[in-house]
Amino acid sequence: MNYVDINSSEYPYLLRQIKDPPPKLYFKNIWNPDIFSETLSVVGSRKMTRYGEIITDTIISAASGAGITIVSGFMYGIDAQAHNAAIEAGGRTIAVMPCGIDIIHPEHQADLHGKILKSNGLIVSEYPGDTPPALWTYPRRNRIIAGLSPILLVVEAGVKSGALITAKIAKKYNKKIFAVPGPLTSSVSIGTANLIKNGAQIVTGIQDILIEYGKIKNNELFSKKEFYGISRTQIKILKLLENEPLSIDEISRSAEKNISEIGADITVLSIKKHLSLNDGKYYLVNGGSNVI
């Protein structure tokens, strides 16, 4: 059974610094300490909304494209979405399990489990073999999620949720906590609103995360030719649509590109869920280019 001992030089440095680090970290896949060099821990509600899905995809795609490893807890909802978004962006992700390393929990996410391994990610746990999950193993797992990264990102959270437990642990560890604001009418945005009210940094766009990791500087977001999978033409399209919805002909004229070129870029942006089409006009999805 594969594991890394806390006394090993390959044991994750940040995890060793917490109050109660696991003596052994069991893992599946090839252990490469470089995967821990830049990490972002992501948690959120199991009752993920469409808004939470889009925001998670957008932030994680850019962070993964910038070389940041995504750490989460493998549960359905925001956790699973974060893992999937990292993989689809060609990045690496670490799933921290509340059970033994030989168990896939929840079972219906066996496909995601396989994708994490195929994409050079890691499945880790402090529990060996077929140790079953229990009520007490989840908060224990959460301390590892908080401990593996300098920053914890909370996307959606109800008033009482595991995500808030992880945020409380992260605060004790003096980690930076970032929270995504959401609709005040949403039950899974109440927790993130309270985090912001109590000192968590509000996320207004992916630039907030990338600036923190030194990937970009202030006001640099749209100055690069290629921005982690978003080309200059695609950025121009998004900027045009910030003002009003436009048809493909109107976009073509304003961008000074022919329709075939614009069509390809619009297809890419639609697949990445940045755009939606309604009555022949393209609209920005949930906030537009400032969240890319």
Task: Judge whether 132 and 146 are in contact, CB under 8 Å.
Answer: no
pLDDT at 282: 87
| Residue 219 confidence (pLDDT) above 70 | no
Domains recognised in the chain with CATH numbers: 3-212 (3.40.50.450), 226-291 (1.10.10.10)
Lowest model confidence (mean pLDDT) among 53-62, 156-165, 185-194, 225-234: 225-234
pTM comes to 0.79
pLDDT tens-digit map of 43-102: 999 999 988 988 898 889 888 888 999 999 999 999 999 999 999 888 999 999 999 999
Out of 11-25, 134-148, 176-190, 253-267, least confident range: 253-267
Give bridge partners of residue 226 from the DSSP assignment: 231
Give the model's pLDDT for residue 199.
96
Cβ contacts of residue 91 below 8 Å, gap of 6+? 63, 64, 65, 67, 68, 69, 70, 119
- Is the per-residue pLDDT at 225 higher than 60? no
* Burial tier of 39 (Cβ tally within 10 Å: 0-12, 13-18, 19+): buried
Q: CB–CB of 234/256 below 8 Å?
A: no
**Would you say 126 and 144 are in contact if contact means Cβ atoms under 8 Å apart?**
yes
Q: How many CB atoms lie within 10 A of CB 66?
A: 21
Neighbours of 247 (CB within 10 A): 13
